[in-house]
Amino acid sequence: MSEHLIEIKDLAFSYTDRPILKRVNMTMSRGQVIAIMGGSGSGKTTLLRLIGGEVKPSAGHVEVAGQVVHQLSRNELFKLRRKMGMLFQFGALFTDLSVFDNVAFQMREHTNLPESMIRDLVLMKLHAVGLRGASHLMPAELSGGMARRVALARSIALDPLLIMYDEPFTGLDPISLSVIGSLIRRLTDALGMTSIIVTHDVQESLKIVDYVYFLADGAIAAHGTPEEVKGSTMPFVHQFVHGEEDGPVPFHYPAETYRKDLKLEVQFV
Amino acid sequence: MYKRIAAGIQAIGHRAIDGIWRLGCAARFFILVLLKSTTSFLRFGLVIREIYFVGVLSLIIILVSGLFVGMVLGLQGYETLQKYGSESAVGTLVALSLVRELGPVMSALLFASRAGSAITAEIGLMKATEQLSAMGMMAVDPVARVVAPRFWAGVISMPLLAALFSVMGVFGGYLVTVVFIGVDEGAFWSSMQNAVDFRYDIVNGVIKSCFFGVAVAAIAVFEGFDAPPTAEGVSGATTRTVVTSALAILGLDFVLTAFMFRGVD
Amino acid sequence: MQRTIMDFWVGLFVLAGMVSLLILGLKVGNLTSYNTGESYTLFGNFENIGGLKVRAPVKSAGVVVGRVTDIQFSLETYDAVVTMDINSFYRFPKDTFASILTSGLLGEQYIGLSPGGDEEMLEEGDKIMKTNSAMVLEEMIGRFLFDKAAED
């Protein structure tokens, strides 16, 4: 077994006949924060779902902590998922439970800890994200950034080996954004886990990550450390990092030529 | 012309296949819910919580409607029966129609629109806001943790609500005919007791409402779980819950009545 | 919402439901007159039962004492065998008379028991020997016309 927590080998996935991912290879080790970037629809979220075992690959495999995810039985998969956390785009807090109960949810479901110990643990997790004082609030009373932080506390509730973040920076003000960013870094270092961030927020993620993968059209277009990425001369990476409108990723969705669509060309029959 | 007819037939076929496919999905989901119900009974607190939302919060509408339905039955029954000089039979009329039909059916219809739609909307919204996926990623099965308790809460609440509805209805009938109109109280109760048989009428009524409870709860959780994760998706599913439940209740009612009350001897 | 308050309401709800079932049974229905296990069975052969139905009441002096539980056609005697469950509380002499009567002009039919004077009582499984069939309108009219014709 390698020291890598996650090994992705020749991973491919398609919806019916539409390929989403084709031959993706990645390795991630403990203590790393890894960003997976790419335009919308490049298959980033699908990659997370494959790692979490929500969907099965059409070829290749994902190995988490030495186990091939899609070959696990349902019970084994659920056991593995206890070592994983996932932060959804808008937090996905349980709206019928208070902040405290949200964080305590997994502890109550998966452990037989006494309520007093759960209380202490929950308050510790909430303290780590700076929201110990908000434990009695309901999710509806939280701002977007606070909800994201509670969700973060919830996903580290059982001290997972791996946390996946699906677009953690979307829709946040600059302050909340850097709070979340530094929280991800600090928690990863403190708990010795691995974080995978799926995002298209280049500036914020380059500040905190150890390694970056660029996905385009279901394949890895480029990868490297943040420094390498910033200095990269590859047209795609350059376009992405600097947010240029047109480049290898075209502005236009594939279509007939403009003139033809507007019927400006004389058609010879 | 022929093309248009062919397209029409095609559309019918498409809808029929879609409908049957959905029915199959619903049946499989129903079995899945039953299989994953162990958690609900091991941790009955989850079900109790849902009974509160599904049953207790439906009480007001059930009690008030029951009262008014009984009052109307008493009034109409009295109007008709007094022409034949048998106004003392109004108790029989009120009690039999409530216990056999109106109690189970009306309370199930009200239950579908009050609680069924709420269950659908809640599960649908949990799906739309990724709460169900999040739960799955936390290694907690959403069917066992979210769906099954709501289903069983519906199944348990329904017969109780139907019984309350019938009792309120009988009370309403009593209020109108005995207290307001002045039918003899003894005749009211004794004609009722002579005609209403415990095993035959009341137990069958309760059995009916159990069936309705299963149907409404199953439809509500399926529609919620199956709803497209968008605002329109959830609102459409909520509407479908009410409509499908109503049709299922009335259809089931006919079938059950045919089995239970066909040919007294 | 606090857990204990919710539990309280749910408990109240379930209790209310149970109580209303009980009310339906006792006040609306006839559970009070149901004494399952505390009844005995009697049989009676009737030439014609008219419109008698299963579950019809068995009355004596107007008091409900039991119910008809079964009606069969006998191939041995070619008449109707009516099975009745009588409340054990009520005992009747051997020579009790059973007749099929109608409550009111158009009401339901029931079995009326008129006790005789015998010292011995009817026991479980006994047959009532003296029975009187239901009045059938056509027969009555027929008899009336026949009598009229005989008078002339």
Residues 6+ apart with CB under 8 A from B8: none
- Chain C residues near residue B264 by CB distance under 8 angstroms: 53-55
- Listed by start position, the domains of chain A span 30-49+77-261
Q: Give the residue with greater pLDDT, A135 vs B153.
A: B153
Interface touch B138/A105, C-beta < 8 Å? yes
Interface of C with B (CB under 8 A): 1, 3, 6-7, 9-10, 12-14, 16-18, 20-21, 23-25, 27-34, 53-55, 57, 64, 71
- Listed by start position, the domains of chain B span 36-261
Q: Give the residue with greater pLDDT, C32 vs B118.
A: B118
Interface touch B137/A86, C-beta < 8 Å? yes
The shortest CB-CB distance from A92 to any of B130, B140, B141 is to: B130
Interface touch B194/C9, C-beta < 8 Å? no
Interface touch B160/C13, C-beta < 8 Å? yes
Query: Does the interface ipTM go beyond 0.85?
Result: no
Q: What is the mean pLDDT of chain B?
A: 90
Q: Do residues A102 and B129 touch, judged by C-beta distance below 8 A?
A: no
Say whether pLDDT at B264 is over 50. Answer: no
Question: Helix %, strand %, coil % for chain A, to 5?
Answer: 40, 25, 35
Q: Closest Cα of chain C to B192: distance in Å?
A: 6
Burial A162-187 (b: 16+ CB within 10 A, else e): bbbbbbbbeebeeebbebbbebbbeb
CATH architecture under which domain A30-49+77-261 falls = 3-Layer(aba) Sandwich (3.40)
What is the model's pLDDT at position B12? Answer: 93
- Chain B residues near residue C32 by CB distance under 8 angstroms: 193
| Nearest residue of chain B to residue C7 (CA atoms) | B48
What is the model's pLDDT at position A261? Answer: 78
- Chain B residues near residue C29 by CB distance under 8 angstroms: 99, 193, 196-198, 201-202
What is the model's pLDDT at position B51? Answer: 93
Say whether pLDDT at C152 is over 80. Answer: no
B48-91 confidence digits (pLDDT tens):
999 999 999 999 999 999 999 999 999 999 999 888 877 778 88
Say whether pLDDT at B172 is over 80. Answer: yes
Query: Could you tell me how far CA B11 lies from the centroid of its own chain?
Result: 32
C17-31 confidence digits (pLDDT tens):
999 988 888 887 766
Interface touch A81/B130, C-beta < 8 Å? no
B106-152 confidence digits (pLDDT tens):
999 999 999 999 999 999 999 998 899 888 888 888 999 899 999 99
Interface touch C29/B164, C-beta < 8 Å? no
What is the model's pLDDT at position B211? Answer: 95
User: Does the CA dihedral B4-B6-B8-B11 come out positive or negative?
Assistant: negative
What percent of chain C has a predicted confidence (pLDDT) above 90?
Answer: 8
* Residue located via tokens 């229905």: C29
C87-140 confidence digits (pLDDT tens):
888 888 888 888 888 876 656 788 888 888 888 888 888 888 888 887 777 778
- Chain C residues near residue B56 by CB distance under 8 angstroms: 9-10, 12-13
pLDDT along chain A (269 residues), means of 10: 73 80 83 83 81 84 84 85 84 88 88 88 88 86 86 87 85 83 86 86 83 82 81 76 70 74 66
Say whether pLDDT at C1 is over 60. Answer: no
Say whether pLDDT at B263 is over 60. Answer: no
Rounded Cα distance, C87 and C101, in Å: 20
Report the DSSP pairing between strands C109-114 and C97-102: antiparallel
Q: Give the residue with greater pLDDT, B199 vs C84.
A: C84
Closest to B181 (Cα-Cα) out of B74, B67, B69, B68: B74
Report the DSSP pairing between strands A162-166 and A84-87: parallel
* C43, HSE (Cβ side, Cα atoms, 13 Å): 11
Rounded Cα distance, B73 and B65, in Å: 12
The shortest CB-CB distance from B139 to any of A82, A94, A95 is to: A82
Question: Helix %, strand %, coil % for chain B, to 5?
Answer: 90, 0, 10
Q: Closest Cα of chain A to B41: distance in Å?
A: 15
Helices A144-155/A99-110 angle, 10° precision: 20
Q: Is B96 on the interface with C (CB under 8 A)?
A: no
What is the model's pLDDT at position C122? Answer: 85
DSSP codes of every residue in B152-178: HHHHHHHHHHHHHHHHHHHHHHHIIII
Phi, psi angles (nearest 5°) of residue A86? -140, 130
Residues 6+ apart with CB under 8 A from B135: A94, B141, B142, B145, B146
Query: Could you tell me how far CA B87 lies from the centroid of its own chain?
Result: 32
Contacting chains of C (3 CB pairs or more, <8 Å) are: B
Number of A/B CB contacts below 8 angstroms equals: 51
Q: Closest Cα of chain B to A15: distance in Å?
A: 18
SS3 annotation, B76-130:
HHHHHHHHHCCHHHHHHHHHHHHHHHHHHHHHHHHHHHHHHHHHHHHHHHHHHCC
Interface touch C30/B193, C-beta < 8 Å? yes
The shortest CB-CB distance from C6 to any of B49, B196, B206 is to: B49
What is the model's pLDDT at position A1? Answer: 40
The shortest CB-CB distance from A90 to any of B129, B136, B141 is to: B129
Contacting chains of A (3 CB pairs or more, <8 Å) are: B
